[in-house]
Structure 1
């Protein structure tokens, strides 16, 4: 496999993981923000061809994934009532 094919698979995997983890937020506003922010960030950076900038973006996405995972756990510990829009 070529390096571009591997990085493409990694980026797609990160995208799916971020969407999956973002959808686990119990709070509607956090969930929708995480999903919207993930889609917008990947659309914004889809034309990156520079290897260094691509690696930096991948590292940032991995860090954001870990942040989302931690926040989802914390969010489940302190759940609030659902909003009217969710019912």
Structure 2
């Protein structure tokens, strides 16, 4: 039971970090895509029970978090004006 609760806490932590990092994109389209993709991926995998699959998904989420962090930095280097939707 303890490993289940610790993996659940880890997954929730990764989910929050991915949402927080995705919301940092300066470009509206990239920001909305990152948030939507994160939510969809976690909803899709919420019924997983096999520990090996869960570990693989957690590792993939960590890689995606690192990728998002790099992409946000790059996005901040090439900022553009806000879209009408954002104002």
Give the alignment's TM-score, normalised by structure 2. Answer: 0.97
Q: Secondary structure at the match of 1:24?
A: coil
Query: Structure 2: which 5+ residue stretches go unaligned?
Result: none
How many residues end up aligned between the 2 structures?
87
Deviation digits for residues 55-79 of structure 1, max 9, x if unmatched? Answer: 0000000000000000000000110
Q: Secondary structure at the match of 1:15?
A: helix
Deviation at 1:81, TM superposition (A): 1.4
- Tell me how large the CA RMSD over aligned residues is: 0.9
Deviation at 1:80, TM superposition (A): 1.1
Tell me which residue corresponds to 1:34.
34
Tell me which residue corresponds to 1:14.
14
Tell me which residue corresponds to 1:70.
70
Query: Structure 1: which 5+ residue stretches go unaligned?
Result: none
Give the alignment's TM-score, normalised by structure 1. Answer: 0.97
Partner Cα distance (2:53, 2:44) in 1: 13
